[in-house]
Structures are given as C-alpha cells and as structure tokens.
C-alpha cells in the first residue's frame, strides 16, 4: 500500500479530502448526495469515483449506505489537508497574501508530492499549529490538535467576551467582509444582545463601535470564552 499515494489523481485526492471534512471528528458516514453537493458533481460521477477508491482500499462504500475512509484513506486525506494548510500559512506569513487569497492557490499546491518540500516549509514556519483561518494543521505523523472549548459565535452567551479562533467558511465574500469590519483571528468580541427576529447579534469588536452581525456570519465564526461582562 506504500505506493498507493503516488498513483492517485488530483480528483481522487480531492474526494478523500472532502469525505474527511464531511465525516467530521465523529467520522460519520458520508452520503453520495452530500459529496455531490460539495463537489458540484453528478451522483453517477460520485458513485463511479467511490467504486474506484473502494478498489484501491481507500474508501469503505456500500450503495445507499454512504461511505467512509479506510485507515489508509484517512492517512492520505490528513496529509493533503496538512499540505493545504501549511501552504496557506506560508503564503500569508512569508509572501504577504491576504487570508482571502490563499485558498485557491493552496488547492493547487496541496497536490505536490515532495515530502521533503512540505517538511521544509513546516520547519521554516516553526511548526505552526493553526493556519490563517484558525484551522488545525496536522503534524507530520497525522495528529490533529483541534481547538478545544470552541463554540460557534451564534451559540455564545449574551454579556460575554469571546475571542475569534476560527473561521469555518473560506468564502472570499465572508473573509473580505471580516477584513472590512476589522474582525480577524485573535480579535476580541463583546456580545451585547441577540435579536430574536432574525437571530443577528449586536457586538463590539476590539472595543470599537457596536455593530450587528447576521446569523449567517455568526454561525461561521468559532470563538472561545474569555470572560463575562
């Protein structure tokens, strides 16, 4: 099985990565419909690819019962994610890319096979634990240091002070909006109120003016509790 990775196409690697993301930490079964939505592909194409990955013993798949990664499939997926997040960190920290510019570039760079290159970038960056969006970077052995005690901002308590530690959605529009309002990883957020009508929140960012954040924004921001008001 040692040679499996070198035989994979970029499309196959992308499938493994997305199955890993959709399964989550609980390693839930992933439906073909969920994969089709995520990859913008036809159900027939999804089924064909899952059959190929099953033959390579990277995916456990039964028709109508969803799929999951085998141990080897998970190992490969984690290494792809490691490369992606290291590249994002390198682009931001060393080449001055904005955090809204790096995802698509890292999507291309994550398929580079050189272990020596990836390990070199890791050393150059002093072995970062998290990427510019707050996502954990797997280490060389595949261990992932997930953010503990993190909740979505939409679920945080009123009259509390929290810190932004992760952005769950990498859409350009959201990241640009967060830049516009001065909300970045490490920012302090004071939660003053939650509006019942639309579940928006009234907050202060880094002790600035009070602003309203929509539910669509707050459900994509991971925060950690700091203190009560």
What pLDDT is attached to residue 2? 45
Share of the chain above pLDDT 70, in %: 97
Q: pLDDT by residue (tens digit) across 93-120?
A: 999 999 999 999 999 999 999 999 999 9
Report the C-alpha gap between 133 and 172 in whole angstroms. 12
Instruction: Give the CATH superfamily of 151-228.
Output: Ferrous iron transport protein A (FeoA) (2.30.30.90)
The secondary structure of the chain in percent helix, strand, coil, rounded to multiples of 5, reads 45, 20, 40
Strand order in the sheet with 210-213: 151-152, 221-228, 160-167, 188-194, 201-205, 210-213
Average pLDDT, the chain: 94
Domain boundaries, the chain: 4-73, 151-228
Fold of the 4-73 domain? Arc Repressor Mutant, subunit A (1.10.10)
Q: pLDDT by residue (tens digit) across 14-37?
A: 999 999 999 998 999 999 999 999
Between CA 143 and CA 151, with CA 148 as vertex, the angle to 5 degrees is 130
Report the C-alpha gap between 94 and 82 in whole angstroms. 17
Q: Does the pLDDT of residue 6 top 70, yes or no?
A: no
Q: Is the pTM of this model over 0.85?
A: yes
């Amino acid at each position: 099985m040692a040679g499996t990775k070198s035989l994979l196409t970029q499309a196959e690697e992308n499938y493994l990565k997305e199955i890993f993301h959709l399964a989550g930490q609980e390693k839930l079964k992933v439906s073909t419909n969920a994969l089709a939505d995520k990859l913008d592909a036809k159900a027939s194409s999804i089924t064909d690819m899952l059959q190929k990955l099953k033959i390579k013993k990277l995916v456990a798949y039964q028709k109508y019962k969803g799929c999951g990664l085998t141990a080897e499939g998970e190992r490969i997926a984690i290494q792809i994610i490691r490369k992606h997040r290291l590249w994002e960190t390198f682009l931001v920290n060393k080449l001055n890319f904005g955090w809204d510019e790096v995802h698509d570039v890292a999507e291309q760079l994550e398929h580079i096979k050189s272990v020596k290159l990836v390990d070199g970038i890791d050393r150059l960056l002093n072995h970062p634990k998290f990427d510019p969006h707050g996502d954990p970077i797997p280490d060389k052995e595949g261990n992932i240091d997930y953010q503990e005690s993190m909740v979505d901002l939409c679920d945080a308590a009123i009259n509390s002070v929290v810190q932004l530690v992760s952005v769950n959605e990498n859409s350009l529009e959201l990241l640009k909006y967060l830049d516009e309002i001065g909300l970045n990883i490490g920012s302090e957020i004071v939660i003053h109120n939650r509006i019942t009508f639309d579940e928006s929140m009234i907050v202060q960012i880094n002790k600035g003016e009070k602003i309203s954040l929509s539910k669509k924004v707050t459900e994509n921001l991971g925060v950690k509790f700091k203190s009560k008001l």
